[in-house]
Structure 1
């Protein structure tokens, strides 16, 4: 297997199956992909060891609604951008850190327990880092799509996905995040490091019984506190360009615009924010020029919509807790911890293939 070029068709199918159901059994994955269970497991282990793909657990929609999430544009003094990005990437509250071209040098996704904790992180942490000259923060008000919804759609033609691959998570009707307990927090951190860890391994790492690990994990996912997601090195699957759009739209059309954007194949993130402009979207593209086609599709659907800012990602330093190298491969991890006081010291790095 080539560790630098495009993934093979069988590996693309494997990643797609695990995007649909990140904790599916290898027997179910085999049924969906046409690989044997042993081959699927072996290929997946290679993808993880080389940092080409991984399964993590990120804050779910219920957390986005109950806690405080912000998108932050950062400007830096010339020559300091990458060092600032690497500093921020060590913060558990900074979920994603991207180096960008356009109106800002960095684009961050950050999370905290509430607005007060977010204020401490923005004012007493980010604003004090040497090399930062300006920040522009917008607090999320609604999440319409995130990376866990994005699919490669590379399963073999006419091969149906078994029902055993279903997520088993229903967020319709509204749910509240799981009541915070030390066990839930520990499980969240461990699943963030390895979303496919066995219940026996989770039980050992957290210090609970296997039955408790299974039951609490199911509760965290069912309530939308956590969402399991299969991530992949973008250039290895033919989507090497990431574009961030800031979109202004009249408030009476905001929800419609967000839903419209969320239906587009390329979208990885669509969120409404308290600020101007009021809508943020992140898309994966095959070429930089496709950003214009994407904008045109949005405007064709909602003529009142206006794109006011465009950022092109030059390098993703951290994506949902994973530290990435210059080629987009996962090399280590800083666990996402939205329960944590943002002014406490860094939780430290974990090698990406340690225990995965």
Structure 2
């Protein structure tokens, strides 16, 4: 993607602004990036229409009682990793799929009703299950940070404050009772899954409600932590060329502390506590390979209670937030 698409400084700032708030108005974005609203609207819409950037609404399955999330590592027969990843990306149960280098060949996130369903999916859902020689599944039990909360660092604190006022993001709290969504709320969420920037008139027309009701429903879903807006783009376009996943073994007594510390690191996009051999899973980005050593020594090396820190580099990502990623890095359109 970064080889075929080149963004100028304004484009990069627009992408960074949409990462901070995918539903921000073009007027808000213009103020944040210090450009005219007409230019921002034109250039921003070009980025969206081209598939370079896409905003999608994702229901928080744990908050809404829709299932559980599992991080799955797979080892494949030689030469089959890409084929396995393609087959996994075609499954409705996968939210994220990537080919990696290191101790695993493919990594994926599944959202299923029960952890027992993963075995059935991997056996019955794939055309060639024998291509997989080993799987390791870890249930996500606590999120410290998610990709939609990540700040690229491209914009200053004033822009962040403008685009993320209090209440825009409902943090990952520990939910004891899931929210039960109405059919109308599910319908609103489906519209936003296809286009996270859909206007209230568009939502109202699709669902059969008034614009004011559509606005209230969206605000309520976001405020209650049920709906999270995710901006999808190739991080290499912002000069962040190395995407990686890191799998930690942390002493139980330090798990909360380490997870909270890693969530504050600029390079961290996602970090969660999991069951299994690895009890902490992290997604991160760095500018280049030369930054990996300092990350491992200065960031990871300073963490208390870490026994293992296994890094895998993402070579090709096929699916993010349920959205298929084309070979050129653009996002598949729906509808």
- TM-score normalized by the length of structure 2: 0.88
In structure 2, the partner of 1:31 is 31
Q: How does 1:253-292 map to 2 (within 5 A)?
A: 253-292=254-293
For the residue of structure 2 that corresponds to 1:195, the secondary structure is coil
- Cα distance, 1:211–1:177 mapped onto 2, change above 3 Å: farther
For the residue of structure 1 that corresponds to 2:107, the secondary structure is strand
Q: 1:119 Cα deviation (Å)?
A: 5.8
Contact 2:97 2:107 in 1 (8 A): yes
1:87 is the counterpart of 2:67: no
Q: 1:82 Cα deviation (Å)?
A: 1.8
> How many aligned positions are there?
332
Q: 1-side partners of 2:125 and 2:328: how far apart? A: 28
Contact 1:22 1:196 in 2 (8 A): yes
1:143 is the counterpart of 2:167: no
After superposition, give the CA deviation of every residue in 1:24-58 in whole Å (9 maximum; x if it has no partner): 12211111111222211111111112222111122
After superposition, give the CA deviation of every residue in 1:285-324 in whole Å (9 maximum; x if it has no partner): 1223422322213344224313342211110111112221
Q: 1-side partners of 2:33 and 2:116: how far apart? A: 47
After superposition, give the CA deviation of every residue in 1:176-225 in whole Å (9 maximum; x if it has no partner): 55313322223223212211001111222234333332222222111111
Which stretch shows the higher mean deviation, 159-168 or 220-229? 159-168
Q: 1:160 Cα deviation (Å)?
A: 4.3
For the residue of structure 2 that corresponds to 1:326, the secondary structure is coil
Query: Is there any run of 5+ residues in structure 2 with no aligned partner, and where?
Result: none
After superposition, give the CA deviation of every residue in 1:109-132 in whole Å (9 maximum; x if it has no partner): 111234455564356436973522
In structure 1, the partner of 2:319 is 318
CA-atom RMSD, angstroms?
Answer: 2.7
- Cα distance, 1:203–1:130 mapped onto 2, change above 3 Å: farther
Q: How does 1:177-216 map to 2 (within 5 A)?
A: 177-216=178-217
- Cα distance, 1:162–1:70 mapped onto 2, change above 3 Å: closer
Q: 1:153 Cα deviation (Å)?
A: 2.4
Contact 2:65 2:179 in 1 (8 A): no
For the residue of structure 1 that corresponds to 2:83, the secondary structure is helix
Contact 1:24 1:165 in 2 (8 A): no
Q: 1:81 Cα deviation (Å)?
A: 2.1
- Cα distance, 1:220–1:3 mapped onto 2, change above 3 Å: farther
Contact 1:68 1:140 in 2 (8 A): yes
- Cα distance, 1:21–1:247 mapped onto 2, change above 3 Å: same
For the residue of structure 2 that corresponds to 1:63, the secondary structure is coil
After superposition, give the CA deviation of every residue in 1:221-260 in whole Å (9 maximum; x if it has no partner): 1111111122221221111211111111110001111111
Contact 1:171 1:223 in 2 (8 A): no
Q: 2-side partners of 1:324 and 1:25: how far apart? A: 26
Q: 1:148 Cα deviation (Å)?
A: 0.8
In structure 2, the partner of 1:47 is 47
For the residue of structure 2 that corresponds to 1:4, the secondary structure is coil
- Cα distance, 1:72–1:10 mapped onto 2, change above 3 Å: same
In structure 1, the partner of 2:223 is 222
Q: 2-side partners of 1:227 and 1:117: how far apart? A: 25
Q: 1:158 Cα deviation (Å)?
A: 8.0
In structure 1, the partner of 2:243 is 242
Q: 1-side partners of 2:57 and 2:311: how far apart? A: 28
Query: Is there any run of 5+ residues in structure 1 with no aligned partner, and where?
Result: 333-350
